[in-house]
Each structure stands twice: as C-alpha cells, then as structure tokens.
Structure 1
Amino acid sequence: MRRDVNGPGGSGSPKFAFVAWLAARDRLSTMDRISKWDHRVDETCVLCKREPESRNHLFFECVFSASVWEHLTKGILLSNHSNVWQDIVFIISDERMEGKKRYCLRYAFQAAIHAIWRERNKIRHNEKALPITAVMKMVEKGVRNKLSILRTKRVKG
C-alpha cells in the first residue's frame, strides 16, 4: 500500500509538500544517489560528518535531523516517537489518528524535511549554515505560526 505523506487536502505549504513528496519517493539528490553517477564524490553526511548520506540517514537518523525531529514531535508522539523513516511514514499515514494531530505531524514532517534539506544544501554549496538550535527554533516557529493562522481563520478541523 502506498503511503501518502501529504494526505487528503494537501498541506499548508506547497514547497514543503513538494520536497517531502520527493523525499517520500527517494528522489532527492542525496549523496548515495549522486555516487551512482560519480564514484568520486564524498558520500559523508555534511550535517553529522559520521555516516554516508542517504534519504533515511538524512531524515531522521542523522544526529542533526533527529534532534530537529525530536524537538518538534516528541511531545506529540510520546512513546510512538521514532527517527526511522519507515516508522515515521507509517505513523503520519495512519488514518485512525485524530485529524488535528495527524495534520500537525504531517506539517511538522514536511517543515522539518524542508529545513534539513535546505541546511544540507547550504553546507554542500559552501554557504554558512545555521546552528541546530536556530534551525529548531525556526521550524518550530513556522509550524506554530501556520497553526495559529489556521486557528484565526477558523479552518474546520
């Protein structure tokens, strides 16, 4: 069964949804994929500098991205919290989960993926990346702002 990380009705941000869609299909140009075209590339994750970069490592097994994901979702997921890609996709695809909680998790998932991918690309292209605390605050604030906007607009559900 195909898991749709965007869910019915899409998400709140098309650019977040698009990057998450690419990640869900393992179509982002992670270093494990690039190395198939060019064997000379360094596959090491630029965020943790410990493991080879793959989709599953980058989202959310890397200590950098795991910290961002945990910061956003540990309080919501409690004992169900995971940093394993397949587990996360299963959790956020569970149609039995209460709608508001599922929306919040899906939006946090998309926002985290977008922010992590962006920070990864900054480093890959020799730009100055943000410290992890700044990334966590930025993503959390973005998610909170989105939810606040929905609340003020009185969006159903």
Structure 2
Amino acid sequence: MCPNSHEHLFFECTYSTKIWCDLKKRIKHDSWNNKMNGVIDEMVKLPCNKSIMRILRRIVLAACVYQIWNERNKRLFGEDKRSCQVVLSEIINHVRLKLASLTVRRTCKVIEVCNQWQISMNISKDSDCILDKWNDTDDNYGQ
C-alpha cells in the first residue's frame, strides 16, 4: 500500500496500528482488522441505533482519525513528533469528554462504559435523552 494513502496512514503503518489495536480492545472489537474498508464494512453492518456502544465506536473512530491526521500534519510541517502513547492519551481524553457530555438512560452498558472510560455521564429518565430504551440491542452484535 502506498505510504501516502489513507489506508496506510490510518490503519497500516506501525504507528497507527499501535494506536488502533489499543482502541479496538477498548471498544471490544479486537477482531476488527487493520484495513480501512474492513473497519467501514464492520461499522456499516452494525444496527443503526443510538446505543451507547454504537455511539462509543463512532466517537473513537472519529477521534482516532483526527488525531492521527493531526500528528501527520505536525510532522509534515516540522513540529515535534509525539509518541503513540501521547496521541493515544489525547484520543482517550477526547472520547471521555464526548461521552461525559451525553445525557443517557441508565443501563448496564452505560454503567459499564462509564466504569471502563472512568467518566460520569448525565443520567436521565427523560424521553429526550440521547439513548433510547432499547439501547443495549447491538452491544454484542458481531462479536
């Protein structure tokens, strides 16, 4: 694969692979491959709902792509290189902030995500919250 391709930059280079492998474990999708089309295909197969796991996967993927792109640009323009751990830490902090901003219904999966990511989310019994009452339906899908 071309070193300047999206596939290489986000999923195949050693730097990105280290980050992506750690994040896959955190979202409980270790089995996903390190190919862009494979990850996109897996995401498309999942039910399109507002479950906490679906939202978490989208946030993680977006944060990962953004931070790797940001690191690439910093290196291209001569700024200091950051280690994988530093970039991973920024991704994790971004995910935590996004999750903490959600208003959700209290479910087992929401509590599990809060514990895993060491955050608190706004728990609501209101019908206007982000997650619907059927929000745990895709948590084990594809695993």
TM-score by length of 2: 0.66
Q: 1:8-27 alignment to 2 at 5 Å? A: none
Instruction: Give the C-alpha shift of residue 80 in structure 1.
Output: 2.6
Root-mean-square deviation (Å): 2.2
Partner residue of 2:76 out of 112, 115, 124: 124
Partner residue of 1:104 out of 45, 56, 63: 56
Residues 73, 105 of structure 1: 8 Å contact kept: no
Q: 1:36-115 alignment to 2 at 5 Å? A: 52-96=3-47, 99-115=51-67
Quick one: distance in 2 between partners of 1:107 and 1:96?
16
Instruction: Look up the match of 1:140.
Output: 92
SS for the counterpart of 1:82 is: coil
| Unpaired runs of at least 5, structure 2 | 103-120, 132-143
TM-score by length of 1: 0.61
> Relative CO higher for 1 or 2, CA cutoff 8 Å, sep ≥ 6?
2
CA deviation digits over 1:48-106, x for unaligned, max 9?
xxx62211011111111111112222242345322110110011222427632121111
The number of aligned residues is 108
Quick one: distance in 1 between partners of 2:30 and 2:78?
38
| Unpaired runs of at least 5, structure 1 | 1-31, 33-50
Quick one: distance in 1 between partners of 2:55 and 2:9?
22
Shift in CA distance, 79/117, structure 1 to aligned 2, threshold 3 Å: closer
Which structure features the higher share of helix residues?
1
Residues 119, 129 of structure 1: 8 Å contact kept: yes
